[in-house]
Amino acid sequence: MKNLKLIKVALFLFLGFLLIVSYFGPCDSKVMKCLGGNSIFLTRTLVHLVIPAILSVAVLLLLSDSIFKKWIKFAIGWIFVSLIAIAATPEYSGGFLDPDREQVSIWMSSLFLIISIILMIIWSIKEKRKV
């Protein structure tokens, strides 16, 4: 399964490339501009989704290929659900319990990282029990 190892590394490098391009491009080399604010919605949302993805892929480099295959299916589904949730949210908050796009983006990316780690742990335990 040398090809999957190569795909893992390529995905990690691609996500890192997206972060670097975002940081030096639209974010003007300012971390807080990438993480918050209303000026660069698309880039900010991309950064919110890429950070937990790159952390997950870094962990997946150490895990088996079968876990990577399961995770990639989960990640693709989660990205679509996140984009729909973010697009359906108003751009500006209307009140205390009415989140804006930035808050939804942060929550969805945080949940993605937490769920990814939990799934990787569960899948690793199940895989070890099979052997």
Q: What pLDDT, in 10s, does the model give residues 11-28?
A: 999 999 998 988 888 888
> What are 94-115's pLDDT values in tens digits?
666 677 777 888 889 999 999 9
Percent of the chain whose pLDDT exceeds 90 = 37
Max CA separation in the chain (angstroms): 53
Sequence letter at residue 92:
Y
**pTM for this one?**
0.80
35 CA to centre of own chain? 13
DSSP secondary structure string, 70-121?
A: HHHHHHHHHHHHHHHHHHHS-SS--BTTB--HHHHHHHHHHHHHHHHHHHHH
Dump pLDDT digits (tens) for 53-63.
999 999 988 88
